[in-house]
Amino acid sequence: MSRIRLPFAWTLGGMMAAASFAGCADGNGREGPDRRADIQEGACVQQGATEPDSLASIGCRVDFDVLASEPLDTSIPGARSVKVVLDQLDNDALHFQNSTKYKVHYEFAAENLSVQEGLPLVSSLSEFNQTEYSVPDRRFILGAVTRSDVERARS
C-alpha cells in the first residue's frame, strides 16, 4: 500500500466541509451554528466572474460554492459536493473540479488532463473506470468533498 501525501489545500477543504456540519459538538460541547464563529476562512482563490474548470485549492466558502453541485447520490439532504482529482504523475497536482460542469471524474480528466505535455492521455471511459477507482498503481486518486447544510435541507 503506497502512502499518499495530501497537500494542505486538501486538508483545508476537508476541514471546511467537516467543520460546517450543524449539530456536531466541538471540543467545548457547543453545537450547531454558534460554532461557526470559530471557523477562520482563508483567502478566496476564485477571482473573476467566470466559473473555472477547477481550482488547485479551496480557500473559502465561495470557492467551494463555485465548484459544488448536488452529489450524484442525493441521500444526504442539503448536501453539496466537489469532486477531487489528485494526479500522481503530475507531482500530486490537486484539482477541485467544477462539479456542475463535469458530473463525473472522467469528464474532467479527459478534457483537462489529457492535454498536459509529457503525461499520458486519459484512457477511454471503460478503462478509466476499471483502473482509476481500484488499481493500486493508478494515475489518479479520486474523491469528493461533501458539505451538508442542514438549514438548506429544511427549506
Please check the confidence at residue 17 and state whether its pLDDT lies above 70: no
| Global pTM exceeds 0.75 | no
Please check the confidence at residue 21 and state whether its pLDDT lies above 50: no
For the segment 115-138, the average pLDDT, to the nearest whole number, is: 93
Please check the confidence at residue 141 and state whether its pLDDT lies above 70: yes
Report the candidate in 85, 67, 98 with the shortest Cα–Cα distance to residue 10.
85
For the segment 2-13, the average pLDDT, to the nearest whole number, is: 42
* Pairwise pLDDT comparison (148 vs 44), residue with the higher score: 44
Domain ranges of the chain: 8-154
What is the per-residue pLDDT across 61-101, written as a single tens digit (0 to 9) for each? 999 999 999 877 777 778 899 999 999 999 999 999 999 99
Please check the confidence at residue 146 and state whether its pLDDT lies above 50: yes
pLDDT class of 13 with cuts at 50, 70, 90 = very low
Long-range contact set of residues 53-56: C-beta below 8 Å, sequence gap at least 24: 53/97, 53/98, 53/101, 53/102, 53/108, 53/111, 53/112, 54/85, 54/95, 54/96, 54/97, 54/98, 54/108, 54/112, 55/95, 55/96, 56/9, 56/93, 56/94, 56/95, 56/96
Average pLDDT, the chain: 79
* Pairwise pLDDT comparison (71 vs 44), residue with the higher score: 44
